[in-house]
Structure 1
Amino acid sequence: MASETPSAKDRILDAANRLFYSEGIRAVSVDAIAARAGITKKTLYYHFKSKDDLIAAYLASRDQPNLALFRKWFDEAEGELADKVEAIFLNLAQSAHHPKWKGCGFLRTAAELANMPGHPAMKVGAAHKKNFEAWLYEEFRARNSDDPHELSRHVVLLMDGAFSTVLVHHDPDYIVSAGRAARTMVANAS
C-alpha cells in the first residue's frame, strides 16, 4: 500500500516547523522554507499570504500535538494527582536531554516577537498557554483540588519558568526541580 504524498501546504508547515523550531523565526527566510519544502516561493505564498501568517500557522500546528503529549504523560503516570503533574515535568526533562530540543517553541517565538504584541503568532501562543492552563484547571477541578484556578496558574508559571531557565543554563535538572515544586503544591492542594 503506497503512502500518500503530503500536500504542498503540509510540506510547507513541516519545513516551517523544523526550521523555525531549530533556528528561530527571524533567522529563517521564506526562501529557506520553500527550498526545504521542495516548492517555489510562489507556491508558499499561495498557501500563506505572508511570513507572519506562516509563523502563526507553525505555532497553531504545534498546539494540539503538544497538549496531547502532556495529557498522555499525565494519563500514563501512576499515583495520585500530584504524581501525575510531576510526571509531565519528568517527561519534559527527559525530552530536554535530546540534542535537538530547543525548549518551548511558543515562548521562543514570543521572545522574538516581544515588540510586536499584535502579531498573529502572539495570539496563537497565548491561546496555547491558556489551553494548557484550562486543561490543568479541569483536571484539578474534577479532583476537588483547593482553588483549581490558582493552582493551574501556578503550575503554568513553574512550567514556563522551567522552560526559560533550561534555555539559559542548558540543564534539564531545572525542569525536574520545577516538577518537584509542582508536585508539592498539588499535593498540598488536594
Structure 2
Amino acid sequence: MPKTLAPARDRILKAAASLFQSLGVKAVSVDAIAEKAGLTKRSVYYHFRSKDDLITAYLEARDEPNLALFQRWFAEADGDVADKVAAVFGQLAASARHPKWKGCGFLRTSVELVDRPGHPAVIAGRRHKKRVETWFAGIFTERMDPSAASELGRQTMLLLDGGFAITLLHRDPSYLESAGAAAASLVRACIAGRAAA
C-alpha cells in the first residue's frame, strides 16, 4: 500500500520549522518552504495568509510540546524540587550538545524581529515564556505564598533564558548546567527561608 502524505498544512509547518530553526526566520523564503514541503508557493499561501502568519504558527506549534517536555523532565527527575528544577536545565544542556542545536526558537525569533515588538510571532514567544514562568511559579506555590512563588518563577525563568543565550553564544552547554545549579541553590534557599519564617 502506498505511503500517504501528511496533510499539506502539516507539511508546510514541518518544512518551515526545519528551515526556521536551522537558518532563522528572516533568511528563509516562502519559495524555499514550498520547495522543502514539496508544494507550490500558491499552496503555502492557501494555508497561510503571509510569511508572518507562518512564522507565528511555527512558534505556536512549539508551545505545548516544549512545555510538556519540561514538565516530563521535571516529573521524571529524582530528588527534591530544587534537584528537579536543575534536571530540566541538565536535559536542556544535553540537547545543546547535539551538533544541530541552534538554541531556543522563541528567543532567536524575538531577536530577529526585535524591531517589530507587536509582531504576532513575538507575542506568541512572550506567551510561551510566560507559560513556562507560570508553570515554575505553580511548582513553588505548593511550598510558599503565591507572591514569593511568582517571584521565584520569574528568577528561574531569567536563569533559564540566560542559560540559553550564553550557551548559544559560547557553544558551551556547561553554561546551562551552571544556570541549573544556580536555580537549584536559589530554590533551595527560598524554600528553606520560607520554612524558617
TM-score range, shorter chain: over 0.9
Answer whether contact 1:56 1:121 (CA < 8 A) is retained: yes
Deviations 1:25-61 (A, max 9, x none): 0111000000000110000000000000000000001
Q: How does 1:36-47 map onto structure 2 within 5 Å?
A: 36-47=36-47
1:167 aligns with 2:168: yes
Q: Which runs of 5+ in 2 are unaligned?
A: 192-197
Residue 165 (structure 2) pairs with residue 179 (structure 1) = no
- Count of residues in Structure 1 that have an aligned counterpart in Structure 2: 190
Q: Find the residue that maps to 2:39 and give its secondary structure.
A: coil
In the other structure, the counterpart of 2:34 is 34
Q: Deviations over 1:103-128 (max 9, x none)?
A: 10000000000000111101100000
| Residue identity matched to 1:187 | R
* Correspondence 1:85-164 to 2 at 5 A: 85-144=85-144, 147-164=148-165
Q: Percentage identity across aligned positions?
A: 56
Give yes or no for contact 1:86–1:183 (8 Å, CA) kept in 2: yes
| Equivalent pair of 1:159/1:175 in contact (CA under 8 Å) | yes
AA aligned opposite 1:89: F
CA contact (8 A) 1:106 1:125 kept: yes
Larger radius of gyration: 2
Match of 2:48 in 1: 48
How far is 1:5 from its partner? 2.8
Normalised TM-score (structure 1): 0.97
Q: d(CA) in 1 for partners of 2:15 and 2:186?
A: 39
Q: Greater relative contact order: 1 or 2 (C-alpha under 8 angstroms, separation 6 or more)?
A: 1
Secondary structure of 1:103's aligned partner = coil
Over aligned residue pairs, what C-alpha RMSD do you find?
Answer: 1.4
Give yes or no for contact 1:90–1:179 (8 Å, CA) kept in 2.
yes
1:67-103 residue CA offsets vs partner (Å, 9 max, x unmatched): 0110111000011000000000000000000011101
CA distance in 1, matches of 2:90, 2:53: 34
* CA displacement at 1:3 relative to structure 2: 6.5
**Is the 8 Å Cα contact of residues 145 and 189 (structure 1) preserved in structure 2?**
no
Q: 1:4 to 1:189 in 2, by over 3 A?
A: farther
Deviation for aligned residue 1:143: 3.2
